[in-house]
Amino acid sequence: MSSAARTESLRPAAEPAHARTTRIQRRANDIMSFASILAFCTVGGCMLLALLFWQVSGMTRMDSGSAQQLLERWHLLPKTSFDGAVLSAALLLALVAAMAPIVCLRRLGKALRAPSPLNLVVARCFSWLGHALLVNLIGGFAAGLVAATQIPQYQLSLGIGFLGTLTAAILAYAVAEMVREGARAAEENRAFV
């Protein structure tokens, strides 16, 4: 086989536009489903934690021994003396920080379902996802800082999760710029007949 024929055989066949769009829409549906599951788990987890603290604060007035036992089983507090208002604020902050990227992810999935996904709305969604990931980083760290004042066993750490979220935020910004550029090129292409 000649080198030109070999090169030609290696080049992928041009995919029809509607097949590409259907594939993107399927991925968009996957993103929305994933975001929904994440939202459910996040809200459920926060409610469970809130319920636990509420139960403990109620039990403390009546039976401090059982309350302490419950907390020790959950590895949360060595003592039952904690400021409920401060912990509630930390929990709320953590919830907002966790939900921000999830909401943006869902909006991104919705935007990608458009017939022409290379548009400025999708670019804006990627930008907002970047902002939300930074909010998640900063909010989560702040919530942890507050929680650490109430739960001595809680330790703050800057591990791979922190770096991963930061990387994801930077990538989201980069993809937003690429999509913006692609949208401009698509608009330019539409002006040609």
State the residues that interact with other proteins by CB under 8 A.
188, 191-193
Q: 160 or 191, CB closer to other proteins?
A: 191
CB nearer to other proteins: give 6 or 192. Answer: 192
In the complex, least distance from residue 188 CB atom to other proteins, rounded to whole angstroms: 7
Rg (CA), the chain: 24
Cβ 193 to other proteins shortest distance, Å: 5
Say how far apart CA 132 and CA 108 lie, in whole Å: 12
Amino acid identity at 127? S
- Rounded to a whole number of angstroms, the minimum distance from the CB of residue 191 to other proteins is 4
SS3 label, residue 22:
helix
Residue 85 vs 191, nearer CB to other proteins: 191
> Among 19, 171, 165, which residue's Cα sits nearest to residue 102?
165
CB of 14 to other proteins, least distance (A): 14
Q: DSSP characters for 99-143? A: HHHHHHHHHHHHHHTSSS-SSHHHHHHHHHHHHHHHHHHHHHHHH
Nearer to other proteins, 9 or 188 (CB): 188
* CA-based nearest residue to 137, from 103, 173, 167, 172: 167
- Least separation in angstroms between residue 24's CB and other proteins is 23
Question: φ, ψ for residue 66 (rounded to 5)?
Answer: -65, -35
Q: Which is nearer to other proteins, 30 or 181 (CB)?
A: 181
